Amino acid sequence: MVNLAKTAGFCFGVRNAVNVVDNLLKSGFNVCALGYIIHSPQVVDLLKNRGVRVVDGVSEVKNGEVLVIRSHGVEPKVYEEINKVGVSFKDATCPFVRRIQNEVFKEYKNGKRILIAGDANHPEVRGILGYCKNEALVFSSLAELKLLFGKNGYLKKEPVFLAAQTTFNVKVWESSVSFLKDVCGCENINSFCSICSATVNRQNEAILLSKSNDVVFVVGGKNSSNTRKIYELCAENCEAFFIESLKDLENLNFNLKGKSVGLTAGASTPDFLIEEVYGKIVSYI
Ligand code: SF4
C-alpha cells in the first residue's frame, strides 16, 4: 500500500490560475502568460499545446491576446505598463500574495525597514520587492539572517517589518523571528507570518508522512519552491526522492519490498501526474 498525503497537489491559488487560463481558452480568447503559469512542466506543455504563449514582458503581448498574471503576482510597474500599453489582462495573483504586497507597501510607507524571508530570485519575492522600491533585505536561511545583522549592526535599532515568502520553511521562519527578538534584541519589530495555510498544511503533513514511512516520494516541478521544501523536510526523516515525472521514477534505483511507502506532491503538481506515479509505485511494491 502507498500512503498518499491528503494535501498532495494543487493549492487554491494554483488551481485558480489554471482555471483562469482554461476559462479564457474555452471562451475563445488567445492567451499568453507572464512567465510559466505554474511550476509544472507537464501543465505548461498541455497549455502550450492549447495555444498559450509564455511571454517575458508586457511588450511581447500581441494584439488580441489576453495576458494572465500568475499566482506569484507582479511588481507595480507591470500594472503601470499594462495600463500604458492598453493590454487586456486577467489577474490570478493569489490573495495570500496580494496581502503581503499590501502589507509591505503600507509598512514601507510608514518608514519601516522591510525584511523578507525567502528566495530573492523567486518571482513572488521579486514582485513583493516592487512594493518597497526594491529596498527590502532578503534572507533565505537563519545563517544568512545572522550574517546580515552581523554586518549591519544599525539594523537592531531600526523599526523592522518582517514577512515571508508564502512557501517559506515554517521552522526556519520561527527560528528567524526568535533570533531577531531574543538573540539580536531588535527593539521594534513587527513580524507577519505570511507563509500561506496551503504551505503550512503541506509541510506539516510531509513531516508526519516521512516520520511514519520508510520511503517517501515527492512529486513536483524541480523549479517549484514549495515542492523542494516538502522534499527537504521529508529527507530529514526518511529516505526521500524528488521526482518530476514518471521517467524520473523509472530511472531511480530503489527497492521497496517490505517497506512502507509515502507519496506526496507540491502545490503545483497536477492530479493526473500524482495518479500516474501512484500507480507505478504500487506496481513496485
Ligand atoms: S502556495 Fe499559497 S500563496 Fe502560493 S498560490 Fe498556493 S495558496 Fe497561494
Give the pLDDT of the chain (285 residues) as one tens digit per residue: 899 999 999 999 999 999 999 999 999 999 999 999 999 999 999 999 999 999 999 999 999 999 999 999 999 999 999 999 999 999 999 999 999 999 999 999 999 999 999 999 999 999 999 999 999 999 999 999 999 988 888 888 889 999 999 999 999 999 999 998 877 676 688 889 999 999 999 999 999 999 999 999 999 999 888 999 999 999 999 999 999 999 999 888 888 888 999 999 999 999 999 999 999 999 888
Cβ atoms of 226 and 266 closer than 8 Å: yes
Q: Enumerate residues lining ligand 1, CB below 6 A.
A: 11-14, 71, 94, 96-97, 166-167, 196, 198-199, 226, 267
DSSP H helical ranges for the chain: 12-26, 41-49, 76-85, 95-109, 123-129, 142-151, 170-178, 197-211, 225-235, 246-250, 271-284
* Fold of domain 2-8+200-284: Cobalt-precorrin-4 Transmethylase; domain 1 (3.40.1010)
Q: Where are the domains of the chain?
A: 2-8+200-284, 12-92, 96-195
Fold identical between 2-8+200-284 and 96-195? yes
Q: How far apart are CA 248 and CA 246, in angstroms?
A: 5
Please state the atom number of ligand 1 nearest to the C-alpha of residue 96: 3
Cα 71 to averaged position of ligand 1 atoms, centre (Å): 7
Find the catalytic residue in 124, 187, 232, 236. 124
* Helix (H) or strand (E) segment spanning residue 132: none
The pLDDT of residue 187: 66
The pLDDT of residue 257: 87
**By alpha-carbon position, which residue is closest to atom 8 of ligand 1?**
13
* Fold of domain 12-92: Rossmann fold (3.40.50)
The pLDDT of residue 89: 98
CATH architecture of the domain with range 96-195: 3-Layer(aba) Sandwich (3.40)
Q: How far apart are CA 216 and CA 7, in angstroms?
A: 14
